[in-house]
Amino acid sequence: AQSVTQLDSHVSVSEGTPVLLRCNYSSSYSPSLFWYVQHPNKGLQLLLKYTSAATLVKGINGFEAEFKKSETSFHLTKPSAHMSDAAEYFCVVSDYNTDKLIFGTGTRLQVFP
């Protein structure tokens, strides 16, 4: 069965420092992987997606993620955090066997001035 584990429930960084949000997945088949962001009282917005093309994926707002099959990971990074990045981030996995989108439990990112 497919699943996704977000290794940190909370991450705090200072503005201007790098961001790393960790995600590990389990999937029997070649997965599709996504990162979504949710600002308070707002809907979920797609940040980026991996669908078996390039393993380094660039998304919106300067975010990137790298698909590492050997480590079953899809960590989200950003070189320099901005105050507006403070939000909840969800890693999502889907595979062609089940056609379901499965969400992780989320990582809350706090950015301090």
Partner 1 sequence: EAGVAQSPRYKIIEKRQSVAFWCNPISGHATLYWYQQILGQGPKLLIQFQNNGVVDDSQLPKDRFSAERLKGVDSTLKIQPAKLEDSAVYLCASSQQPNTEAFFGQGTRLTVV
Please, what is the minimum distance in Å from the beta carbon of residue 113 to partner 1?
25
Interaction between residue 46 and partner 1 (CB under 8 A): yes
Interaction between residue 35 and partner 1 (CB under 8 A): no
- In DSSP notation, 62-88 reads G-EEEEETTTTEEEEEESS--GGG-EE
Interaction between residue 40 and partner 1 (CB under 8 A): no
Interaction between residue 101 and partner 1 (CB under 8 A): yes
Give dist(CA 43, CA 48) in Å, integer. 16
Give dist(CA 35, CA 44) in Å, integer. 10
Please, what is the minimum distance in Å from the beta carbon of residue 15 to partner 1?
25
